[in-house]
Amino acid sequence: MRDGLESFFPGIFSTLKHRKPKHAKQPPTGPQPAPLPTNVEDLQAMVIALQHQVLQLQRMLFGRRSEKLPPDDPNQGLLFGRIEPVEETEEKQENEASSEDQEPAPKRSCRKNHHGRGPLPPHLMRCLHDIHPPEEELTCPSCHQPKKVFGQDATEELEMIPAKFFVNRYIRHKYACPCCQGSVSQGPLPPRPIDKGIPGPGVLADVVASKYAEHTPLYRLQERYRRAKVEFSLSTFCNWVDHVAGLTAPIVELMKQQMLLSRKVHTDDTPITVLDPNAEPVHSRRGYMWVYISESGDVVFDFTNSHTRDGPASFLKDYRGYLQADAFSGYDGIYAGGLIIEVACWAHARRKFYDTLVHYPTEAGRVLELIGSLYAVESRAKKLGVPDDRLLAWRQRFSRRRLERLRRYLDGLSVQV
Domain co-membership, 204 together with 267:
no
Is there a domain that residue 381 lies in?
A: yes
- Tell me the pLDDT tens digit for each residue of 184-214: 899 999 999 999 899 999 999 999 999 999 9
DSSP symbol at 210: I
Domain co-membership, 274 together with 300:
yes
Domains of the chain: total: 3
Contact criterion met (CB below 8 Å) for 242 and 208: no
- Tell me the pLDDT tens digit for each residue of 361-410: 888 899 999 999 999 999 999 999 999 889 999 999 999 999 999 999 99
Domain co-membership, 364 together with 324:
no
Domain co-membership, 285 together with 332:
yes
Q: Which of 257, 279, 298 is the last residue of a domain?
A: 257
Contact criterion met (CB below 8 Å) for 79 and 361: yes
Dump the DSSP string for 214-227: S---HHHHHHHHHH
Q: Rg for the chain (alpha carbons), in Å?
A: 36
User: Strands, E, within 67-187: which ranges?
Assistant: 174-175, 185-186
Predicted local distance difference test score (pLDDT) of residue 221 = 96
Q: What is the domain extent for residue 405?
A: 345-417
Q: Give the mean pLDDT of 306-326.
A: 93
Q: Check pLDDT > 50 for residue 75.
A: no
CA–CA separation, 331 and 310 (whole Å): 10
Confidence of residue 73 (pLDDT cuts 50, 70, 90): very low
Predicted local distance difference test score (pLDDT) of residue 279 = 82
Percent of the chain with pLDDT over 70: 78
Within 10 angstroms of residue 240's Cβ, the number of other Cβ atoms is 22
Q: Check pLDDT > 90 for residue 56.
A: no
Nearest to 307 by CA among 356, 273, 271, 261: 271
Which region among 71-80, 145-154, 186-195, 309-318 has the lowest average model confidence (pLDDT)?
71-80
CA–CA separation, 359 and 55 (whole Å): 10
Contact criterion met (CB below 8 Å) for 319 and 260: yes
CA–CA separation, 172 and 30 (whole Å): 68
Is there a domain that residue 307 lies in?
A: yes
Which region among 4-13, 160-169, 219-228, 270-279 has the lowest average model confidence (pLDDT)?
4-13
Is there a domain that residue 228 lies in?
A: yes
Is there a domain that residue 366 lies in?
A: yes
Nearest to 287 by CA among 311, 266, 260: 311
Q: Which of 190, 225, 257 is the last residue of a domain?
A: 257
Predicted local distance difference test score (pLDDT) of residue 87 = 47
Domain co-membership, 252 together with 274:
no
DSSP symbol at 213: I
Predicted local distance difference test score (pLDDT) of residue 117 = 78
Q: Check pLDDT > 80 for residue 25.
A: no
Confidence of residue 413 (pLDDT cuts 50, 70, 90): confident
